[in-house]
Each structure stands twice: as structure tokens, then as C-alpha cells.
Amino acid sequence: MYAIAIHGGAGALPWQHLSLELQRRYDSALAVALDRGYAVLADGGSSLDAVTTAVRILEDDPLFNAGRGAALTREGTAELDAAIMDGNTLRAAGVAAVRHVQNPIELARRVMENSRHVLLVGAGAEEFALAEGFELVPNAYFRVPERQAELDLLRGGHSVSELMPVPSGTVGAVARDAHGNLAAATSTGGMADKHPGRVGDSPIIGAGTYARNGACAVSATGHGEFFMRLVAAHHICASVQYRGLSLQEAVHETIHEHLAALGGRGGIIAVDADGRMILDFNTEGMFRAARDSGGRREISL
């Protein structure tokens, strides 16, 4: 059994503002990322390559809060976070607060493969990117009018959900390949109107991103600060490994009990050692999709 699940952010979904046309665009974008990631697995590729592929596609799509189309800081700039983890070797890396790297997930993977470090932030991360041959892009590349409007609304004291479908959106993917290896990847522009230098859960190994063969792989989306305090992704895998909970039970408890108790909102996608996938959230909606070699294929908004 090989399997991949992806998310494109969880949050308030004001359906009255999400036109049928926009719904179709999200559905289509999720389908492309899902099927391209799945194709990697079907070709015998690694879960690591599958999640990288899916996340890179979602980063490139301005519909999602990652890469192009990222949410903006209170100063109007895009600051991007991403992480990746290989459940087989427990190798992992993240980058945070980068402003000029087109695909942060590619940089996170490069940090994992070519550096001795697990987390690089800010200008230092971009120095590494340049040394590795990445071409930097202007910050304006990431900024789209919808995100500027979102920021203006927030500054005006309005709720984001009045305009934007996914305020705390983030993209991510988890996969199990035919060899039984698990992997997770997450990428985000973070919280709209965030303080410059704010880092959320996505690039933090154990908080928003985690993978361990024999346990599970997890990618989170939502109010990152709560996932960080709960060390949510690691907690879910530890619950599967040590408490005998099913993945469904572990994810449900984290979202509907622990996260809710702190007042946090968000969603989780996860896959266990057998390829079973769980996609759960306590927000109005979560852009999500899943496909496996047993014939399951679903896309939901």
C-alpha cells in the first residue's frame, strides 16, 4: 500500500464568498498536487520525493498561503517557513523567515541533505541558498493582491473570514511509499499580519511537521502557536507508538481535545505505518485530498 495526503490550509470557509468558480479552482489545484505526488509513488519513488513534489506545486499556486500567494506580515512582506522530514532516517530540516526563496520546501530539503544543520532562518538561510546555487527572487514575487487586501482588512479591524477563505492556510503533504517509508513536508507564509520574525509550527520538527517509520507522518495547519505548545505532530506519533492509539484516535484527541482546550483551531493530515490516512480539523473547513494504491481518491474543501 502506498498513499499520499495533502492539505491546503484549514480555516473559516465563508462559502458565500467562495464562488463556484473559485471552488473549482481549489479543487483542480489540489487534484494536480495530489496526482503528481501520487505518480511519484506509483513509479516506485520515495515518499520524500512525493511530498516534496506535492508541496512545491502548492507553493507555486497563488491560491494557497505558501510560496507565491503567502500571507503577509504586518509590514506587508512575505516571510516563508517550510520543513521536511524523512521517517526512515529521522533526517529533517526546516527554514524560516526567508524572503527571497521561490520554493522554501526545496531549500528545506537542501538543508537536510547538504548541511549539518536542522533549522536555518532569515538572511543566513538565504546565504546558504545562494551558496547552493538557488536563484533568489524579489519579495514582490510572493505578494498577490488578495493577500494585500487580507492584510488591509485585518488592519481595519475586520475578520479575515469576511474575505479570505483560509486565513491560517498552510500547505503540506504526508506519504507512505511502497518500501514502507514515511515522510512529511509543510510550507507556509504563516499567519496574516504576523510580527516580522514570527516563526510558526510548520518549520518546527515535532510541532507542525514530523515523520517516523513505524509510527506516523504528520503535517499540521492552523493556529501554529498552539501546535508548537502541544508539540502536536510528535505527540500524535508518540501516542500511536507508545499508547496503542490508532492514528484516527491520536489525531482526534489532539485536535478535538488538546487543541480545543487551549482555544486553538486547525487541522492535521497524517498517515500511519500501514498507509492509513487521517484528515481531521476543528475549523469550518480544510482544503484536503488523499489517494492510495487501494483505490481511494478524494478531494474535499
Q: Which residues in this chain contact its own copies in the complex, by CB under 8 A?
A: 90-92, 96-97, 115-125, 127-128, 194-200, 204-207, 210, 224-225, 228-231, 234-235, 238-239, 242-243, 262
Q: How far is the CB of 217 from its own copies (least distance, A)?
A: 14
Residues constituting the chain: 301
> Which of 49/225 has CB closer to its own copies?
225
> Which of 61/81 has CB closer to its own copies?
81
- Parallel/antiparallel/unpaired status of strands 182-188 and 209-212: unpaired
Check if 170 is active-site: yes
> Which of 41/120 has CB closer to its own copies?
120
Task: Give me the catalytic one of 52, 53, 73, 170.
Answer: 170
Q: What order do you get walking across the sheet with 277-281 strand by strand?
A: 209-212, 216-222, 266-272, 277-281
> Which of 205/289 has CB closer to its own copies?
205
DSSP bridge partners of 109:
none
Question: From CA 176, how far away is CA 4, in angstroms rounded?
Answer: 7
- Residue 5: which of 264, 226, 247 has the closest Cα? 247
Q: How far is the CB of 79 from its own copies (least distance, A)?
A: 8
Q: How far is the CB of 124 from its own copies (least distance, A)?
A: 2
Per-residue CA distances from 185 to 18, 45, 74, 92 (Å): 27, 16, 26, 10
Q: How far is the CB of 19 from its own copies (least distance, A)?
A: 32
Question: From CA 34, how far away is CA 57, in angstroms rounded?
Answer: 9
> Which of 263/295 has CB closer to its own copies?
263
Question: From CA 170, how far away is CA 11, in angstroms rounded?
Answer: 10
Whether residue 239 contacts residue 245, with contact meaning beta carbons closer than 8 Å, is answered with: yes
What residues have CB less than 8 Å from 45, skipping those under 6 apart? 177
Q: How far is the CB of 57 from its own copies (least distance, A)?
A: 27
Instruction: Name the residues annotated as catalytic.
Output: 170
